[in-house]
Amino acid sequence: MHPIRRRRLIKAQAPANPHYGKPPGERTIPELIQQGVVIVDKPAGPTSHQVAAWVRDIFDLNKTGHGGTLDPDVTGVLPVALAGATKAIGILHTAGKEYVAVMRLHGEMAEERIRQVCQQFVGTVTQMPPEQAAVKREERERTIYSLEVLEIRDRDVLFTVSCEGGTYIRVLCHDIGEALGCGAHMHQLRRTRSGIFGEEDAHTLHDILDAYIFWRQDGDEDIKNIIRPVEDVLAHLPAVVIRDSAVDAICHGAYLTIPGVLQADTGIEPGSEAAIKTLKGEGVAIGTAALSTRDIMEKDQGIAVETNRVLMHKGTYPPLWKKH
């Protein structure tokens, strides 16, 4: 997957009030449990929903949510949001993904031909979601960033693929088989990356349970290495950093206007998703950009981001906006 490199541009200077909020890395374990994400190494067998339910039970929470369904027989990286972080987890559905897969051909095919056809699928592809998918069945375009054939043994093709979120590898294997003229199906699949989260970040359900028990019984803080702050889910989005005085208004659902902006990442375009953050790096909300980075930096008035989902609790920062 090719990460987007962005620069943070400074529009105005303002101090951060040390008496309100805190950097995500300084949150306590109870705070992380209420606003964090665990990256599960999903085993084969259970559904993604079942895995999220087990995580909910481990932490004794009312709700959890997973970031991108994996079929029961598929293993690998499954981000699971805890409690309040479930408001943000949906944006991972559009984040880039990486997989390692085994495609089984239905007939004999020359290795050179297999590699040649696989490369034809790098770029924009058109897919029809499978019948069992929980989305409307209509053709849609997805981007394959890279597809590398690692090994071919008899009719089995081992390959890695980096792709746009929402790409169906099962459909990709079928379509490659059609292009080859022999037919093919997905035999095995493992997700190795979702957004910024890779296999190196993933933990088994057993390890997560052990870490939680050790913390509750002995005060062992190793669980801090397992629970990630919700802001990590926002890492693939461009960010707009706002004044402390604007935070509570956003928490009440107000749109972000340009006077509240201090910094903005490059790459923001009208209609694209953007994260609204504090000077301490806290996620305030997710919204739809109304202006480009350039316009946000150059204009003095107008709406910069339309707030869609508020992540921060009201009252975390003082309601200074009400005084005006």
Active-site residue set: 71
Pair of tokens at residue 151? 């090994």
Q: How far apart are CA 126 and CA 128, in angstroms?
A: 7
Pair of tokens at residue 51? 């895995």
The amino acid present at 116, given as its one-letter code, is Q
Phi, psi of 146 (to 5 degrees): -160, 150
Specify the DSSP class assigned to residue 120. Answer: T
Q: For the packed helices 111-119 and 169-180, what is the interaxial angle rounded to 10 degrees?
A: 130
**What b/e sequence results for 244-270 when a residue is b if at least 16 CB atoms lie within 10 Å of its CB, and e otherwise?**
bbbbbbbbeebbbbbebbbbbbebbee
Q: How far apart are CA 321 and CA 324, in angstroms?
A: 6
Q: Are 184 and 103 in contact (CB under 8 A)?
A: yes
Distances (CA, A) of 108 to 81, 169, 173, 212: 44, 21, 16, 51
Q: How far apart are CA 311 and CA 21, in angstroms?
A: 13
